[in-house]
Amino acid sequence: MSITQEVLDQLLSMKEAAQEILLLDFEDENSLAKLELLQEMQDDARGQIDQIRSRSSVLVKNGLEDIISECIELEMKVKDKLENYRDKVDKTMQELKNAQFIRSKYNVVYAQTEGYFLDQHK
């Protein structure tokens, strides 16, 4: 297998993983586990590409510009999707904190200042 083909295979793997990530619904808990798995696959593919590049003194570029551009574009879309989800979660967390703060203002527990002391001794 040629070096270009090896790199192409890894790039296609990265592209497929990015496309699957874009289809995930982050509201579903199972999707988050799948997201982690897909990101690991992408990381492995990047590692394989780095290994291929370190083995070869030939600059692998011929015919790969299109797939590299597609991968970069998909990665930017994935980044945007993850940032939007993070912002949504941050907003929800802030709303919960605000609600808790407001609730604590209305549910004040007062300390009793007067009381009785009962001694068991007569």
The region of weakest confidence among 5-9, 31-35, 63-67, 91-95 is 63-67
Say what the pLDDT of residue 52 is.
80
Question: pLDDT band for position 44 (50/70/90)?
Answer: very high
pLDDT digits (tens, 9 = 90+) for 56-65: 765 556 667 7
Q: Which two structure tokens, joined as six digits, stand for 40? A: 């690991």
- Rounded to an integer, the average pLDDT of 49-60 is 72
- Residue 19: pLDDT above 90? yes
Q: What is the C-alpha end-to-end distance of the chain, expressed in Å?
A: 99
pLDDT digits (tens, 9 = 90+) for 74-117: 999 999 999 999 999 999 999 988 888 777 776 666 666 676 66
DSSP-derived letter for residue 26 is T
Say what the pLDDT of residue 56 is.
72
What phi and psi, each to the nearest 5 degrees, are found at residue 114? -115, 145
